């Protein structure tokens, strides 16, 4: 038996990973919240539906995951051009990160369940 329902309209999720030292983690999170996320929002990309930030503290590093939501692949391409998977990592972020994905993974949402 299947639970939930298929999305009423297509949705695209763009997932990216970055890692930093524990010493730089709070500064990086503040950069995301104070500069990078507002800068993306200010681009006023039609079909952009928001971003989620995940953080996991490990012993020697801190992992960050961003999950952006778009109404369509065209909307996702509006962020990074024709290569919709190209990572957007400004110099200010590179200064705090120890490593990062050079590209994002793009997924079509097939089902999303709400509680």
Q: Computed over its alpha carbons, how large is the radius of gyration of the chain?
A: 15
pLDDT bracket for residue 7 (50, 70, 90): very low
Tell me the H-state helices in the chain: 22-31, 37-42, 73-80, 91-94
pLDDT-above-70 percentage for the chain: 91
Which of 6, 29, 9 is CA-nearest to residue 75? 9
Residue 1, pLDDT > 50, answer no
Averaged pLDDT for residues 28-57: 95
Domains and CATH numbers, the chain: 12-108 (3.30.70.100)
Share the mean pLDDT of the chain.
89
Question: Within 13 Å, how many C-alpha atoms sit on residue 15's CB side?
Answer: 8
Averaged pLDDT for residues 19-23: 98
pLDDT at 9: 66
**Model's pTM, two decimal places?**
0.86
pLDDT at 83: 78
| Integer Cα distance of 37 and 59 in angstroms | 27
pLDDT at 104: 93
Tell me the pLDDT tens digit for each residue of 58-101: 989 999 999 999 999 889 888 877 777 888 899 999 999 999 99
């Amino acid at each position: 038996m299947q639970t939930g329902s298929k999305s009423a309209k297509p949705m695209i999720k763009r997932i990216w990973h970055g890692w930093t030292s524990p010493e730089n983690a709070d500064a990086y999170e503040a950069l995301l919240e104070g500069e990078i996320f507002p800068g993306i929002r200010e681009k006023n990309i039609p079909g952009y539906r928001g971003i989620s930030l995940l953080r996991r503290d490990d012993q020697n590093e801190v992992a960050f995951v961003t999950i952006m939501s778009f109404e369509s692949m065209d909307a996702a391409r509006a962020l990074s051009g024709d290569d919709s998977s190209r990572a957007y990592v400004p110099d200010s972020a590179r200064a705090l990160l120890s490593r990062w994905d050079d590209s994002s993974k793009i997924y079509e949402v097939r089902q999303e369940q709400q509680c």
